[in-house]
Structure 1
Amino acid sequence: MSRRTNEAGFVLDTDPARLDLDTVERWLAQESYWATGRERAVIERSLAGSTVYGVYAPDGTQVGLLRVVTDGATFAWLCDVFIDSAYRGRGLAQWAVAAVRDDLHALGVYRIILATADAHGVYAKVGFVPLPEPDRWMQLTTRVIGRPEAPYTADARA
C-alpha cells in the first residue's frame, strides 16, 4: 500500500476501502470523455483488477482517482486519471502522476503508457513524451460502450 501527503494536506492513497464508488462511478460514467456510459459493474471490476490511487482532500473527501494496470515488473498503463472539477488547477494531477510514476519506477517498471486528449502538458511535466514509434503500436477494440452487441471490427471506437 502506498500513501503520500502533499504540502497542502492532500493525500494519495492506494487503500481500496477509502474509495467512494458512487463518486468514482459519476466521474467515469458521466463526467469523463473516455468512459461515458461505463456500467458500475465494469467500473468495479476494473478497479479490482488494478492498482487504484485515490486523491483525498485534507477533510478526507475523495477528489481524484488514478488507475494503473501493470505486471509490476516491466510495463504499466496509467488510465482513468480524474480530478474533480472543483479541485483542478491546484497541481493535484501532476503531483499524483509523479507519485505513481515514482512508485512504478521503484518496482522496476520501465515503460508506462497513457492516452489523453487534452492533458499533454500535465503529463509532459512529469516526463511523458509522445510515442517515438507509434506505428509499432496496435489496438483491438472488441466492444463499443453502449453497444454490447457490436461485432469485432477494425473501426470500433471505445
Structure 2
Amino acid sequence: MGQEYFISTEKNLLNVNAIKTFIADEYWGDGRTLEDVEKTIKNSYCFGIYTSDKEQIGFGRVVTDYIYFGYFMDVIIFEKFQGKGYGKILVEHMLKDDVIKNLKTIALKTKDAQGLYERYGFKTIGDSPLWMSIDKQKLD
C-alpha cells in the first residue's frame, strides 16, 4: 500500500460529520447525535487514517486512563475504503501506539469482527459473544 495513507491522533483532522453519519447506521450507534459524537471524540484518545490528500479513510478511539485500561470503540473504515486492508492497518497502528501498547488491559465489544481482533491477541471474555480483551495484568 505504500505511503498513500497516514495515521494521526490530531483531532482537528477528523471529519466529525462523516464519522457521525457512518456510526449512526451501525448497530452500536443508533441514536447518536452530532453533539454526542463530538463529545466522545473530545473525551477519547482518537486515531484517524487518511489518504495522502487528507481524505478520511477511517477512525478509531480509545477510552483510557492512560496507564491501566483502554476500551477500543468506534473502529470504522468508511465504505468506499473497505476491503482494502485499512482496518487491519488501523488496528495494528493503534496497538503499537506508545500510549496503548503500555496499557495493562485493552477491551472491546464487537458483534461481528471477532476474527479481526483475534489475530491481534484479543480473546473472548468468559462466555460473552461480544466482549474481548488483551490482558497483560499480572495477578500474582
- TM-score interval for Structure 1 and Structure 2 normalised by the shorter chain: 0.7 to 0.9
**Corresponding residue number in structure 2 for 1:20:** 15
Which protein has the larger Cα radius of gyration, Structure 1 or Structure 2? Answer: 1
Q: Which structure dedicates a bigger proportion of its chain to strand?
A: 2
Q: Alpha-carbon deviations, 1:17-44, whole Å to 9, x = none?
A: 1011111111112x22201220111111
The CA deviation at 1:116 is 0.7
Which runs of no fewer than 5 residues in structure 2 stay unpaired? 132-140
Q: CA RMSD in A?
A: 1.7
Q: 60, 73, 98: which is aligned to 1:66?
A: 60
Q: 123, 126, 131: which is aligned to 1:129?
A: 123
Q: Which amino acid aligns with 1:87?
A: F
**C-alpha distance in 1, partners of 2:85/2:115?**
12
Identical positions, percent: 29
Closer, same or farther in 2 for the Cα pair 1:131/1:7, shift >3 Å?
Answer: farther
Moved over 4 A (4+): none
Q: Does the 8 A contact of 1:94 with 1:125 survive in 2?
A: no
User: Aligned residue pairs: how many?
Assistant: 127
Alignment of 1:57 onto 2:51 = yes
Alignment of 1:102 onto 2:96 = yes
**C-alpha distance in 1, partners of 2:70/2:106?**
5
Structure 1 range deviating more: 74-83 or 19-28: 19-28
Which runs of no fewer than 5 residues in structure 1 stay unpaired? 1-5, 138-158
The CA deviation at 1:132 is 4.4
Alignment of 1:79 onto 2:73 = yes
Q: Does the 8 A contact of 1:94 with 1:126 survive in 2?
A: no
